[in-house]
Structure 1
Amino acid sequence: MIELRTPAEIEQMRPAGRFVADVLAQTSAAAKVGVNLLELDALAHELIRRRGAESCYIDYHPSFGASPFGKVICTSVNDAVLHGLPHDYRLQDGDLLTLDFAASVDGWVADSAVSVVVGTPRDQDLRLIETTRRALAAGIQAAQPGGKVGDISAAIAAVAHAEGYSINTQFGGHGVGRTMHGDPHVPNDGRAGRGYPLRPGLVIAIEPWFLETTDEIYTDKDGWTLRSADGSRGAHSEHTIAITPDGPLVLTAP
Protein backbone atom coordinates (compact mmCIF):
# COMPACT_ATOMS: atom_id res chain seq x y z
CA MET A 1 0.00 0.00 0.00
CA ILE A 2 1.26 3.46 -0.91
CA GLU A 3 0.80 6.08 1.80
CA LEU A 4 1.04 9.83 1.30
CA ARG A 5 2.50 11.82 4.18
CA THR A 6 1.18 15.09 5.52
CA PRO A 7 3.47 18.14 5.62
CA ALA A 8 3.73 17.64 9.40
CA GLU A 9 4.79 14.01 8.94
CA ILE A 10 7.42 14.98 6.39
CA GLU A 11 8.83 17.43 8.95
CA GLN A 12 8.93 14.58 11.45
CA MET A 13 11.03 12.57 8.99
CA ARG A 14 13.76 15.22 8.79
CA PRO A 15 15.67 14.03 11.91
CA ALA A 16 15.96 10.53 10.44
CA GLY A 17 17.30 12.00 7.21
CA ARG A 18 19.85 14.13 9.03
CA PHE A 19 20.98 11.17 11.13
CA VAL A 20 21.44 8.88 8.13
CA ALA A 21 23.42 11.58 6.32
CA ASP A 22 25.64 12.09 9.38
CA VAL A 23 26.35 8.36 9.76
CA LEU A 24 27.34 8.09 6.10
CA ALA A 25 29.59 11.14 6.45
CA GLN A 26 31.35 9.67 9.50
CA THR A 27 31.71 6.14 8.14
CA SER A 28 32.95 7.29 4.73
CA ALA A 29 35.49 9.57 6.44
CA ALA A 30 36.66 6.59 8.51
CA ALA A 31 37.07 4.36 5.43
CA LYS A 32 40.87 4.47 5.13
CA VAL A 33 43.41 1.97 3.88
CA GLY A 34 43.75 -0.77 6.50
CA VAL A 35 40.37 -0.18 8.14
CA ASN A 36 38.29 -3.33 8.56
CA LEU A 37 34.71 -3.43 7.25
CA LEU A 38 33.66 -4.73 10.66
CA GLU A 39 35.10 -1.55 12.20
CA LEU A 40 32.87 0.56 9.95
CA ASP A 41 29.87 -1.51 11.02
CA ALA A 42 30.86 -1.10 14.68
CA LEU A 43 31.11 2.69 14.19
CA ALA A 44 27.64 2.82 12.63
CA HIS A 45 26.32 0.63 15.46
CA GLU A 46 27.76 3.01 18.08
CA LEU A 47 26.26 6.04 16.34
CA ILE A 48 22.86 4.32 16.34
CA ARG A 49 23.20 3.61 20.05
CA ARG A 50 24.18 7.19 20.90
CA ARG A 51 21.25 8.63 18.95
CA GLY A 52 18.70 6.19 20.33
CA ALA A 53 17.84 5.21 16.75
CA GLU A 54 16.94 1.76 15.44
CA SER A 55 18.68 -0.21 12.71
CA CYS A 56 16.62 -1.14 9.67
CA TYR A 57 19.12 -3.83 8.68
CA ILE A 58 20.11 -5.97 11.62
CA ASP A 59 16.92 -8.07 11.73
CA TYR A 60 16.01 -7.55 8.07
CA HIS A 61 15.19 -10.84 6.33
CA PRO A 62 13.44 -10.44 2.97
CA SER A 63 12.90 -13.28 0.54
CA PHE A 64 16.14 -12.54 -1.32
CA GLY A 65 18.30 -12.71 1.83
CA ALA A 66 19.65 -16.04 3.09
CA SER A 67 19.18 -15.06 6.74
CA PRO A 68 18.65 -11.94 8.87
CA PHE A 69 21.27 -9.40 7.76
CA GLY A 70 22.87 -9.23 11.19
CA LYS A 71 24.79 -5.95 10.63
CA VAL A 72 23.73 -2.29 10.56
CA ILE A 73 25.36 -0.95 7.38
CA CYS A 74 25.99 -2.35 3.90
CA THR A 75 29.64 -2.30 2.80
CA SER A 76 30.04 -3.22 -0.87
CA VAL A 77 33.62 -3.35 -2.18
CA ASN A 78 34.75 -3.29 -5.83
CA ASP A 79 32.69 -5.87 -7.77
CA ALA A 80 30.08 -5.85 -4.98
CA VAL A 81 27.46 -3.18 -5.60
CA LEU A 82 24.46 -3.84 -3.32
CA HIS A 83 23.72 -5.41 0.07
CA GLY A 84 27.38 -5.89 0.92
CA LEU A 85 27.51 -7.83 4.19
CA PRO A 86 30.31 -6.49 6.43
CA HIS A 87 32.96 -9.13 7.02
CA ASP A 88 36.60 -9.46 8.07
CA TYR A 89 38.22 -7.50 5.25
CA ARG A 90 40.72 -4.65 5.51
CA LEU A 91 40.33 -1.94 2.89
CA GLN A 92 43.14 -1.71 0.37
CA ASP A 93 44.49 1.19 -1.63
CA GLY A 94 42.22 1.83 -4.60
CA ASP A 95 39.17 -0.05 -3.33
CA LEU A 96 35.80 1.27 -4.49
CA LEU A 97 33.53 1.20 -1.45
CA THR A 98 29.78 1.75 -1.29
CA LEU A 99 28.17 2.46 2.07
CA ASP A 100 24.38 2.05 2.23
CA PHE A 101 22.60 2.90 5.48
CA ALA A 102 19.02 3.11 6.70
CA ALA A 103 17.75 3.79 10.20
CA SER A 104 14.60 4.69 12.06
CA VAL A 105 14.44 7.76 14.30
CA ASP A 106 11.26 8.32 16.33
CA GLY A 107 9.50 5.78 14.13
CA TRP A 108 10.42 7.34 10.78
CA VAL A 109 12.92 5.83 8.33
CA ALA A 110 15.48 7.37 5.98
CA ASP A 111 17.74 5.55 3.53
CA SER A 112 20.83 6.75 1.65
CA ALA A 113 24.02 5.48 0.01
CA VAL A 114 27.37 6.87 -1.14
CA SER A 115 30.32 5.43 -3.06
CA VAL A 116 33.90 6.50 -2.38
CA VAL A 117 37.40 5.45 -3.41
CA VAL A 118 39.76 4.43 -0.62
CA GLY A 119 43.26 5.80 -1.16
CA THR A 120 44.47 6.21 -4.75
CA PRO A 121 41.56 6.47 -7.23
CA ARG A 122 41.28 5.00 -10.71
CA ASP A 123 39.84 7.35 -13.35
CA GLN A 124 37.25 4.79 -14.39
CA ASP A 125 36.03 4.44 -10.79
CA LEU A 126 35.67 8.19 -10.40
CA ARG A 127 33.72 8.34 -13.67
CA LEU A 128 31.42 5.53 -12.52
CA ILE A 129 30.77 7.18 -9.14
CA GLU A 130 30.19 10.57 -10.71
CA THR A 131 27.71 9.04 -13.17
CA THR A 132 25.63 7.61 -10.32
CA ARG A 133 25.68 11.00 -8.60
CA ARG A 134 24.59 12.83 -11.74
CA ALA A 135 21.91 10.21 -12.39
CA LEU A 136 20.66 10.68 -8.82
CA ALA A 137 20.53 14.44 -9.29
CA ALA A 138 18.64 13.99 -12.57
CA GLY A 139 16.19 11.60 -10.95
CA ILE A 140 15.55 14.01 -8.10
CA GLN A 141 15.04 16.91 -10.52
CA ALA A 142 12.48 14.80 -12.40
CA ALA A 143 10.53 14.03 -9.21
CA GLN A 144 8.04 16.84 -9.68
CA PRO A 145 4.44 16.87 -8.43
CA GLY A 146 2.09 15.95 -11.25
CA GLY A 147 4.68 13.72 -12.90
CA LYS A 148 5.05 9.95 -12.88
CA VAL A 149 7.59 7.50 -11.47
CA GLY A 150 8.64 6.80 -15.04
CA ASP A 151 9.90 10.37 -15.31
CA ILE A 152 12.44 9.60 -12.58
CA SER A 153 13.42 6.29 -14.18
CA ALA A 154 13.87 7.83 -17.62
CA ALA A 155 16.00 10.67 -16.26
CA ILE A 156 18.31 8.24 -14.47
CA ALA A 157 18.61 6.01 -17.54
CA ALA A 158 19.43 8.93 -19.84
CA VAL A 159 22.51 9.77 -17.76
CA ALA A 160 23.68 6.15 -17.59
CA HIS A 161 23.17 5.43 -21.27
CA ALA A 162 24.97 8.62 -22.28
CA GLU A 163 28.05 7.25 -20.48
CA GLY A 164 27.69 3.81 -22.02
CA TYR A 165 26.51 1.96 -18.91
CA SER A 166 23.79 -0.68 -19.04
CA ILE A 167 21.14 -0.86 -16.34
CA ASN A 168 19.84 -3.67 -14.14
CA THR A 169 16.22 -3.12 -13.00
CA GLN A 170 15.96 -5.98 -10.49
CA PHE A 171 16.72 -3.59 -7.64
CA GLY A 172 16.00 0.12 -7.51
CA GLY A 173 14.30 2.84 -5.53
CA HIS A 174 11.30 2.34 -3.29
CA GLY A 175 8.81 3.91 -0.94
CA VAL A 176 10.04 4.93 2.52
CA GLY A 177 8.07 5.72 5.66
CA ARG A 178 7.54 3.75 8.83
CA THR A 179 9.48 0.90 7.21
CA MET A 180 12.52 0.87 4.94
CA HIS A 181 11.03 -0.72 1.81
CA GLY A 182 7.56 -0.04 0.46
CA ASP A 183 5.72 0.81 -2.70
CA PRO A 184 6.13 2.18 -5.27
CA HIS A 185 9.14 0.54 -6.90
CA VAL A 186 11.33 3.14 -8.64
CA PRO A 187 13.38 1.37 -11.33
CA ASN A 188 16.52 2.94 -12.79
CA ASP A 189 15.19 2.65 -16.34
CA GLY A 190 11.74 3.32 -17.69
CA ARG A 191 9.49 5.47 -19.85
CA ALA A 192 8.63 9.06 -18.98
CA GLY A 193 4.95 9.67 -18.36
CA ARG A 194 4.33 6.11 -17.15
CA GLY A 195 3.88 4.59 -13.71
CA TYR A 196 2.59 5.76 -10.36
CA PRO A 197 1.68 9.46 -10.06
CA LEU A 198 4.06 11.68 -8.11
CA ARG A 199 1.68 13.27 -5.63
CA PRO A 200 2.65 15.63 -2.80
CA GLY A 201 3.28 13.54 0.30
CA LEU A 202 4.93 10.65 -1.50
CA VAL A 203 8.28 9.75 0.11
CA ILE A 204 10.67 7.59 -1.89
CA ALA A 205 14.29 6.55 -2.06
CA ILE A 206 15.91 7.11 -5.45
CA GLU A 207 19.01 4.97 -5.95
CA PRO A 208 20.85 4.65 -9.25
CA TRP A 209 23.50 1.92 -9.22
CA PHE A 210 25.60 0.89 -12.20
CA LEU A 211 28.28 -1.65 -13.02
CA GLU A 212 31.22 -0.79 -15.25
CA THR A 213 30.78 -3.36 -18.02
CA THR A 214 27.65 -5.45 -17.32
CA ASP A 215 24.12 -5.32 -15.95
CA GLU A 216 24.17 -8.89 -14.65
CA ILE A 217 24.61 -9.75 -10.98
CA TYR A 218 24.83 -12.80 -8.75
CA THR A 219 24.52 -13.40 -5.01
CA ASP A 220 27.72 -14.09 -3.10
CA LYS A 221 27.98 -17.23 -0.96
CA ASP A 222 27.30 -15.06 2.12
CA GLY A 223 23.67 -15.02 0.94
CA TRP A 224 23.47 -11.23 0.71
CA THR A 225 26.18 -9.42 -1.24
CA LEU A 226 25.31 -8.79 -4.88
CA ARG A 227 28.29 -8.86 -7.24
CA SER A 228 28.80 -8.17 -10.93
CA ALA A 229 28.72 -11.23 -13.14
CA ASP A 230 31.99 -10.29 -14.87
CA GLY A 231 33.96 -8.94 -11.90
CA SER A 232 33.66 -5.31 -12.97
CA ARG A 233 33.21 -2.66 -10.31
CA GLY A 234 29.98 -1.01 -9.21
CA ALA A 235 28.88 2.27 -7.67
CA HIS A 236 25.65 3.40 -6.00
CA SER A 237 24.19 6.75 -4.91
CA GLU A 238 20.92 7.17 -3.03
CA HIS A 239 18.77 9.79 -1.31
CA THR A 240 15.39 9.73 0.40
CA ILE A 241 13.16 12.49 -0.95
CA ALA A 242 9.65 13.79 -0.36
CA ILE A 243 7.42 15.10 -3.13
CA THR A 244 6.05 18.51 -2.08
CA PRO A 245 3.85 21.04 -3.92
CA ASP A 246 7.05 23.03 -4.52
CA GLY A 247 9.07 20.10 -5.86
CA PRO A 248 11.34 17.41 -4.41
CA LEU A 249 12.72 17.79 -0.88
CA VAL A 250 15.90 15.82 -0.16
CA LEU A 251 15.64 14.48 3.39
CA THR A 252 19.09 12.84 3.49
CA ALA A 253 21.13 15.78 2.18
CA PRO A 254 24.50 16.07 3.96
Structure 2
Amino acid sequence: MPKFRQSLWLTLAAVLVYAFLYVPLAIVVMYSFNDSRLNAEWVGFTLDWYRVLFADEEMLRAAGNSLIIALVSSAVSTVLGTMAGFALHRYKIRTLQILVLTPIAIPEILVGVSLLIFFVMLNITLGMLSVMLAHIAFSLGFVAIVVRSRLSGMDESLTEAARDCGATPWQAFRRVTLPLIMPGVVAGALMAFTLSIDDFVITFFTAGANTQTLPLQIYSMIKIAVTPEVNAVSTLLMALTLILIVIASKLSPNAFRS
Protein backbone atom coordinates (compact mmCIF):
# COMPACT_ATOMS: atom_id res chain seq x y z
CA MET A 1 0.00 0.00 0.00
CA PRO A 2 2.75 2.58 0.77
CA LYS A 3 4.33 1.92 -2.64
CA PHE A 4 0.94 2.41 -4.29
CA ARG A 5 0.43 5.73 -2.51
CA GLN A 6 3.93 6.86 -3.43
CA SER A 7 3.29 5.99 -7.08
CA LEU A 8 -0.05 7.80 -6.96
CA TRP A 9 1.52 10.96 -5.55
CA LEU A 10 4.32 10.86 -8.13
CA THR A 11 1.78 10.47 -10.92
CA LEU A 12 -0.31 13.34 -9.57
CA ALA A 13 2.76 15.56 -9.25
CA ALA A 14 3.81 14.74 -12.82
CA VAL A 15 0.33 15.53 -14.14
CA LEU A 16 0.29 18.88 -12.33
CA VAL A 17 3.74 19.83 -13.60
CA TYR A 18 2.93 18.95 -17.21
CA ALA A 19 -0.42 20.73 -16.93
CA PHE A 20 1.39 23.84 -15.67
CA LEU A 21 3.74 23.68 -18.67
CA TYR A 22 1.37 22.78 -21.49
CA VAL A 23 -2.10 24.07 -20.58
CA PRO A 24 -1.08 27.72 -21.24
CA LEU A 25 0.30 26.65 -24.63
CA ALA A 26 -2.96 24.88 -25.41
CA ILE A 27 -4.90 28.02 -24.46
CA VAL A 28 -2.75 30.11 -26.83
CA VAL A 29 -3.49 27.70 -29.68
CA MET A 30 -7.20 27.59 -28.88
CA TYR A 31 -7.62 31.35 -28.66
CA SER A 32 -5.83 31.86 -31.98
CA PHE A 33 -9.12 30.60 -33.48
CA ASN A 34 -11.30 32.80 -31.28
CA ASP A 35 -13.71 35.07 -33.16
CA SER A 36 -13.05 38.07 -30.92
CA ARG A 37 -10.39 40.73 -30.49
CA LEU A 38 -10.45 40.12 -26.75
CA ASN A 39 -9.09 36.97 -25.12
CA ALA A 40 -11.43 37.24 -22.16
CA GLU A 41 -13.94 34.66 -23.38
CA TRP A 42 -14.55 32.23 -26.22
CA VAL A 43 -16.95 33.62 -28.82
CA GLY A 44 -16.67 31.25 -31.76
CA PHE A 45 -14.35 29.53 -34.21
CA THR A 46 -12.70 31.52 -37.01
CA LEU A 47 -9.61 31.53 -39.23
CA ASP A 48 -9.72 35.30 -39.72
CA TRP A 49 -6.74 35.96 -37.46
CA TYR A 50 -4.53 33.79 -39.63
CA ARG A 51 -5.70 35.77 -42.67
CA VAL A 52 -4.87 39.00 -40.82
CA LEU A 53 -1.49 37.57 -39.92
CA PHE A 54 -0.55 36.71 -43.50
CA ALA A 55 -1.64 40.19 -44.62
CA ASP A 56 0.51 41.95 -42.00
CA GLU A 57 3.55 43.29 -43.87
CA GLU A 58 5.53 44.10 -40.72
CA MET A 59 5.01 40.61 -39.36
CA LEU A 60 5.96 39.01 -42.68
CA ARG A 61 9.09 41.18 -42.88
CA ALA A 62 10.06 40.18 -39.35
CA ALA A 63 9.43 36.52 -40.16
CA GLY A 64 11.59 36.84 -43.27
CA ASN A 65 14.42 38.35 -41.23
CA SER A 66 14.16 35.56 -38.68
CA LEU A 67 14.21 32.94 -41.42
CA ILE A 68 17.30 34.43 -43.10
CA ILE A 69 19.14 34.75 -39.78
CA ALA A 70 18.20 31.21 -38.75
CA LEU A 71 19.26 29.68 -42.09
CA VAL A 72 22.63 31.44 -42.20
CA SER A 73 23.48 31.01 -38.53
CA SER A 74 22.45 27.35 -38.47
CA ALA A 75 24.49 26.60 -41.61
CA VAL A 76 27.65 28.25 -40.25
CA SER A 77 27.23 26.89 -36.72
CA THR A 78 26.67 23.39 -38.15
CA VAL A 79 30.01 23.48 -39.99
CA LEU A 80 31.91 24.97 -37.04
CA GLY A 81 30.04 22.84 -34.51
CA THR A 82 30.80 19.65 -36.44
CA MET A 83 34.50 20.49 -36.43
CA ALA A 84 34.32 21.37 -32.74
CA GLY A 85 32.50 18.12 -31.94
CA PHE A 86 35.10 16.14 -33.85
CA ALA A 87 37.88 17.95 -31.96
CA LEU A 88 36.16 17.29 -28.61
CA HIS A 89 35.92 13.59 -29.48
CA ARG A 90 39.46 13.26 -30.79
CA TYR A 91 41.37 15.50 -28.35
CA LYS A 92 40.48 15.23 -24.67
CA ILE A 93 41.57 18.78 -23.84
CA ARG A 94 39.68 20.30 -20.91
CA THR A 95 40.31 23.86 -22.07
CA LEU A 96 38.76 23.07 -25.45
CA GLN A 97 35.69 21.62 -23.78
CA ILE A 98 35.30 24.73 -21.65
CA LEU A 99 35.63 27.04 -24.66
CA VAL A 100 33.05 25.14 -26.71
CA LEU A 101 30.49 24.37 -24.00
CA THR A 102 30.64 27.54 -21.87
CA PRO A 103 28.17 29.54 -24.06
CA ILE A 104 25.57 26.84 -23.32
CA ALA A 105 25.94 27.12 -19.54
CA ILE A 106 26.10 30.93 -19.37
CA PRO A 107 22.70 32.67 -18.96
CA GLU A 108 21.43 34.14 -22.22
CA ILE A 109 21.15 37.64 -20.82
CA LEU A 110 24.86 37.57 -19.92
CA VAL A 111 25.72 36.28 -23.41
CA GLY A 112 23.63 39.04 -24.97
CA VAL A 113 25.22 41.82 -22.91
CA SER A 114 28.73 40.45 -23.53
CA LEU A 115 28.19 40.26 -27.28
CA LEU A 116 26.72 43.77 -27.32
CA ILE A 117 29.84 45.14 -25.59
CA PHE A 118 32.03 43.12 -27.96
CA PHE A 119 30.30 44.48 -31.08
CA VAL A 120 30.49 48.04 -29.75
CA MET A 121 34.21 47.65 -29.04
CA LEU A 122 34.82 46.42 -32.60
CA ASN A 123 32.60 49.18 -34.01
CA ILE A 124 30.28 46.64 -35.67
CA THR A 125 26.93 48.14 -36.58
CA LEU A 126 24.10 46.32 -34.84
CA GLY A 127 21.81 44.66 -37.36
CA MET A 128 21.35 41.43 -39.26
CA LEU A 129 25.09 40.66 -39.26
CA SER A 130 25.50 41.12 -35.51
CA VAL A 131 22.47 38.92 -34.82
CA MET A 132 23.82 36.19 -37.11
CA LEU A 133 27.23 36.27 -35.41
CA ALA A 134 25.57 36.15 -31.98
CA HIS A 135 23.39 33.19 -32.94
CA ILE A 136 26.37 31.34 -34.40
CA ALA A 137 28.33 31.80 -31.17
CA PHE A 138 25.35 30.59 -29.12
CA SER A 139 24.32 27.62 -31.29
CA LEU A 140 27.79 26.25 -32.02
CA GLY A 141 28.06 24.47 -28.67
CA PHE A 142 24.75 22.66 -29.11
CA VAL A 143 25.81 21.32 -32.49
CA ALA A 144 29.14 20.20 -31.02
CA ILE A 145 27.37 18.24 -28.27
CA VAL A 146 25.13 16.42 -30.76
CA VAL A 147 28.01 15.60 -33.12
CA ARG A 148 30.26 14.44 -30.29
CA SER A 149 27.47 12.18 -29.05
CA ARG A 150 27.16 10.64 -32.50
CA LEU A 151 30.92 10.17 -32.76
CA SER A 152 31.08 8.45 -29.37
CA GLY A 153 28.76 5.72 -30.68
CA MET A 154 30.67 5.20 -33.94
CA ASP A 155 32.95 2.24 -34.57
CA GLU A 156 36.44 3.71 -34.90
CA SER A 157 37.69 0.57 -36.65
CA LEU A 158 35.85 1.65 -39.81
CA THR A 159 37.92 4.82 -40.06
CA GLU A 160 41.09 2.90 -39.26
CA ALA A 161 40.25 0.39 -41.99
CA ALA A 162 39.87 3.22 -44.50
CA ARG A 163 43.28 4.60 -43.49
CA ASP A 164 44.81 1.11 -43.86
CA CYS A 165 43.41 0.95 -47.39
CA GLY A 166 45.35 4.11 -48.32
CA ALA A 167 42.79 6.85 -47.67
CA THR A 168 44.08 10.19 -46.47
CA PRO A 169 42.67 11.63 -43.21
CA TRP A 170 40.38 13.94 -45.22
CA GLN A 171 39.19 11.08 -47.48
CA ALA A 172 38.53 8.86 -44.45
CA PHE A 173 36.52 11.64 -42.82
CA ARG A 174 34.56 12.56 -45.96
CA ARG A 175 33.76 9.03 -47.14
CA VAL A 176 33.48 7.11 -43.86
CA THR A 177 33.12 9.30 -40.78
CA LEU A 178 30.87 12.02 -42.20
CA PRO A 179 28.22 9.65 -43.66
CA LEU A 180 28.08 7.79 -40.33
CA ILE A 181 27.62 10.94 -38.25
CA MET A 182 25.35 12.69 -40.78
CA PRO A 183 22.16 12.08 -38.72
CA GLY A 184 23.84 13.86 -35.81
CA VAL A 185 24.98 16.70 -38.06
CA VAL A 186 21.46 17.16 -39.43
CA ALA A 187 20.00 16.98 -35.92
CA GLY A 188 22.47 19.63 -34.77
CA ALA A 189 21.55 21.85 -37.72
CA LEU A 190 17.84 21.54 -36.92
CA MET A 191 18.53 22.33 -33.26
CA ALA A 192 20.59 25.40 -34.23
CA PHE A 193 17.80 26.55 -36.56
CA THR A 194 15.21 26.12 -33.80
CA LEU A 195 17.31 28.01 -31.26
CA SER A 196 17.90 30.85 -33.70
CA ILE A 197 14.42 31.38 -35.07
CA ASP A 198 12.74 31.76 -31.68
CA ASP A 199 15.54 33.43 -29.72
CA PHE A 200 14.59 36.67 -28.02
CA VAL A 201 17.08 37.60 -25.28
CA ILE A 202 20.30 37.54 -27.31
CA THR A 203 18.56 39.04 -30.33
CA PHE A 204 17.16 41.86 -28.18
CA PHE A 205 20.67 42.99 -27.23
CA THR A 206 22.34 42.53 -30.63
CA ALA A 207 19.67 43.48 -33.21
CA GLY A 208 19.82 47.26 -33.04
CA ALA A 209 16.97 49.65 -33.73
CA ASN A 210 16.40 48.92 -37.43
CA THR A 211 16.35 45.10 -37.37
CA GLN A 212 13.14 43.37 -36.42
CA THR A 213 12.81 39.62 -35.98
CA LEU A 214 9.71 37.57 -35.28
CA PRO A 215 10.24 37.27 -31.49
CA LEU A 216 10.98 41.01 -31.25
CA GLN A 217 7.88 41.80 -33.31
CA ILE A 218 5.73 39.63 -31.05
CA TYR A 219 7.18 41.36 -28.00
CA SER A 220 6.39 44.80 -29.41
CA MET A 221 2.81 43.71 -30.11
CA ILE A 222 2.10 42.25 -26.66
CA LYS A 223 3.22 45.49 -25.01
CA ILE A 224 0.02 47.02 -26.41
CA ALA A 225 -2.38 44.09 -26.16
CA VAL A 226 -2.40 40.33 -26.68
CA THR A 227 -4.62 40.05 -29.75
CA PRO A 228 -5.56 36.77 -31.42
CA GLU A 229 -3.05 37.68 -34.15
CA VAL A 230 -0.29 37.26 -31.56
CA ASN A 231 -1.82 33.91 -30.63
CA ALA A 232 -1.86 32.91 -34.30
CA VAL A 233 1.81 33.71 -34.95
CA SER A 234 2.75 32.07 -31.64
CA THR A 235 0.88 28.94 -32.68
CA LEU A 236 2.68 28.75 -36.03
CA LEU A 237 6.06 29.36 -34.38
CA MET A 238 5.28 26.71 -31.78
CA ALA A 239 4.29 24.20 -34.47
CA LEU A 240 7.49 24.84 -36.45
CA THR A 241 9.63 24.46 -33.33
CA LEU A 242 7.95 21.21 -32.30
CA ILE A 243 8.31 19.74 -35.79
CA LEU A 244 12.04 20.53 -35.88
CA ILE A 245 12.55 19.14 -32.37
CA VAL A 246 10.79 15.90 -33.27
CA ILE A 247 12.89 15.52 -36.43
CA ALA A 248 16.09 16.22 -34.49
CA SER A 249 15.17 13.71 -31.77
CA LYS A 250 14.44 11.05 -34.37
CA LEU A 251 17.76 11.62 -36.09
CA SER A 252 19.83 11.71 -32.90
CA PRO A 253 17.86 10.28 -29.95
CA ASN A 254 20.91 9.99 -27.67
CA ALA A 255 22.27 13.47 -28.27
CA PHE A 256 22.32 14.56 -24.63
CA ARG A 257 23.24 11.27 -22.97
CA SER A 258 26.97 11.54 -23.39
TM-score (norm 1): 0.29
Question: Which one has a bigger Cα radius of gyration?
Answer: 2
More strand by percentage: 1
The structure showing larger relative contact order (alpha-carbon pairs under 8 Å, at least 6 residues apart) is 2
TM-score (norm 2): 0.29
